[in-house]
Amino acid sequence: MTIMIMGGDGYIGWPLSMHLAVNKDESVVIVDKFLRRDWVTEVGSHSATPILLMKNRLRAFQQSFGKTIEFEHGDLRSYEFVYRIIKKHNPRAIVHLGEQPSAPYSMIDAEHAAFTQVNNVVGTLNILYAVHKVVPECHLVKLGTMGEYGTPNIDIPEGFFKIDYNGRRAELPFPKLANSFYHWSKVHDSGNIMFACKVWRLRSTDIMQGVVYGTKTNEIDEDERLLTRFDFDGVFGTVINRYCAQAVIGYTLTPYGKGGQKRGFIALGDSIQCLTLTIDNPPEAGEYRVFNQFDEVYSINELAENVSKVANRLGLNTDVVHVENPRIEPENHYYNPRHEKLRRLGFRPTYKLEEELEIMLEDLSKYKDRVIAKKHVIMPKIHWKA
């Protein structure tokens, strides 16, 4: 049997591929075109952690674990390519991580907005059609985002909710209030996947994932050759990554706006655990299901306080100064998403924020020169009003 990872060169895709290859008696196939590397270079940055070329990564993995991972190079926007590799490998599960993942990148200009939506929506449609034609029993695990929901002033269910209206009752997809052209591309993906499951009896799990943080997993351990990427720029770097990068080079931590924005967060190792559980527990034919995948909710102020606390404990003196918010978003809001389904499958969080922050800061300190070399890209330069 085979598990295929679309976007297997990425931050989550690479450690997930290694984890599955080590822990499953199945073939693992990575599919990638290395566009993430190109996009980060385009905005003037690089990964803080040094990452090898794919051929060298695969060789290092084999040397470390005595197992192999296959690789296919190509573009998910090409249906011919997607059809060919799915027919060749006949996967029992596909984990689709191969999309443009940055809200700021999608807001640069018309060209980047259109590229993001075409890249993401067309790639997903090609996978859906190829699965339908070749492997209709395959389980498609699609990485969405908690950002699809936005920040409504009510509790957020896992995908669907029951509503009474004018004396009628129905269970409907929860309304989406996405906050960038990137996040709207994910909403469009969700609608297309739900429709494909309905008309073709496909089976899919849509993962509404929170922000992922961390530098290590069991497979990465201490072998530098197996490191996953760590982006810290204002376009591809998450809020935790940017704070950690600022801390290791002695910069002020800079929450956007008032800092009350709340999001769900999950450690990299726990994300891998959740994705593995999802792969191993497929839905029924014709079923489209949604998992909200995160561990804890924090405001960006709370994250700044946590990073500052751990950094100061490590001798990295930091302070916190708020800067203008480049985004158009509520800065103080209600936020209470549900996340029970993965726990019912057996998910048990094993990583704590402060412990992971300490590891991240220690790891980044080793590559401080790489952060300093690109320090000018940490602060935001893309504004939603532009």
Note the pLDDT of residue 352: 94
Task: Please check whether residue 386 lies inside any domain of the structure.
Answer: no
Task: Please check whether residue 53 lies inside any domain of the structure.
Answer: yes
Reported as type and span, the H/E element at residue 141 is strand 139-143
Active-site annotation holder among 2, 116, 124, 145: 145
Whether the CB-CB separation of 357 and 307 falls below 8 Å is answered with yes
Note the pLDDT of residue 386: 81
Of all residues in the chain, the percent with pLDDT exceeding 90 is 99
Note the pLDDT of residue 280: 97
Q: Which residue has better confidence, 43 or 386?
A: 43
Task: Please check whether residue 215 lies inside any domain of the structure.
Answer: yes
Beta strands 2-6 and 27-32 are parallel
Active-site annotation holder among 186, 262, 341, 374: 186
Residue whose token pair is 């060298």? 56
Tell me if residue 326 falls in helix, strand or coil. coil
Active-site annotation holder among 105, 149, 182, 251: 182
Q: How many domains does the chain have?
A: 1
- Per-residue pLDDT for 319 more than 80? yes
Task: Please check whether residue 383 lies inside any domain of the structure.
Answer: no
Q: Does the annotation mark 2 as catalytic? A: no
Give the domain range for residue 186: 2-377
- Per-residue pLDDT for 338 more than 80? yes
Q: Does the annotation mark 149 as catalytic? A: no
Residue 134: which of 331, 297, 2, 306 has the closest Cα?
2
Angle (nearest 5°) at CA 383 between 266 and 51:
45
pLDDT digits (tens, 9 = 90+) for 66-103: 999 999 999 999 999 999 999 999 999 999 999 999 99
- Per-residue pLDDT for 256 more than 80? yes
Of all residues in the chain, the percent with pLDDT exceeding 70 is 100
Helices and strands per DSSP (H, E), number in the chain? 13, 12
Would you state the torsion angle of the CA atoms of residues 363, 6, 185, 130, taken in this order, to the nearest 10 degrees? -170
- Per-residue pLDDT for 279 more than 80? yes
Q: Does the annotation mark 238 as catalytic? A: no
Predicted TM-score of the model (pTM): 0.98
Task: Please check whether residue 385 lies inside any domain of the structure.
Answer: no
* pLDDT, average across residues 342-346: 98
Distance CA 382, CA 386 (A): 8
Task: Please check whether residue 267 lies inside any domain of the structure.
Answer: yes
Task: Please check whether residue 384 lies inside any domain of the structure.
Answer: no
Give bridge partners of residue 320 from the DSSP assignment. Answer: 253
- Per-residue pLDDT for 222 more than 80? no
Cα 242 → chain centroid: 16
Reported as type and span, the H/E element at residue 198 is helix 181-200
Structure tokens at 94: 């596909």
Task: Please check whether residue 382 lies inside any domain of the structure.
Answer: no
Note the pLDDT of residue 295: 98
Residue 30: which of 67, 62, 58, 65 has the closest Cα?
58
- Per-residue pLDDT for 274 more than 90? yes
Write the CATH number for 51. 3.40.50.720
Note the pLDDT of residue 24: 96
| DSSP codes, 331-379 | SB----B---HHHHHT------HHHHHHHHHHHHHHTHHHHHHTGGGSS
pLDDT digits (tens, 9 = 90+) for 146-205: 999 999 999 999 999 999 999 999 999 999 999 999 999 999 999 999 999 999 999 999
Tell me if residue 23 falls in helix, strand or coil. helix
